[in-house]
Amino acid sequence: GAGVSQTPSNKVTEKGKYVELRCDPISGHTALYWYRQSLGQGPEFLIYFQGTGAADDSGLPNDRFFAVRPEGSVSTLKIQRTERGDSAVYLCASSSGSASYNEQFFGPGTRLTVL
């Protein structure tokens, strides 16, 4: 079956612009996660959705970052007034449950470059 998909695969934007990154999870997965992976680092947690609601957004770095999941499936990560420091690979993952032992399935990521 289809895995987690993310679009676009690459996004180049200018400083100050607005961007949207999309994640399409595995069908039926109720939990969805966003991570950010900077060069030379491991993925860092941004936000976790259980269904339509953001159960934990403690990893969002500031109020320029926002994510939605209006129908409990596709999610969009939105970044306003982008800065060069936002350049990273943004990863999305989904799982069938939110327990610690449920496997997370990752998408290929969106590479964001802010010029």
3-state secondary structure of 11: strand
Per CB under 8 A, does 110 bind other proteins? no
| Beta carbon of residue 55, minimum distance to other proteins (angstroms, whole number) | 8
Structural tokens at position 63: 């109020």
In the bound state with other proteins, the residue whose beta carbon lies nearer, of 13 and 98, is: 98
Q: Concatenate the DSSP letters of all residues of 19-73 into one string.
A: EEEEEE--TT--EEEEEEE-TTS--EEEEEEETTEEEE-TT--STTEEEE-TTSS
CB 12 within 8 A of CB 23: no
Q: Which stretch binds other proteins (CB under 8 A): 13-21, 38-46, 63-71, 75-83?
A: 38-46
Interface with other proteins in residues 60-89 (CB under 8 A): none
Per CB under 8 A, does 59 bind other proteins? yes
Choosing from 28, 42, 53, 70, the residue that interacts with other proteins (CB under 8 A) is: 42
CA gap 107, 6 in Å, rounded = 6
Question: Which residues 6+ apart lie within 8 Å of 41 measured at CB?
Answer: none
Choosing from 79, 95, 110, 114, the residue that interacts with other proteins (CB under 8 A) is: 95
Interface residues toward other proteins, by CB under 8 A: 3-4, 31, 33, 35, 40-45, 48, 56, 58-59, 91, 93, 95, 98-104, 106-109
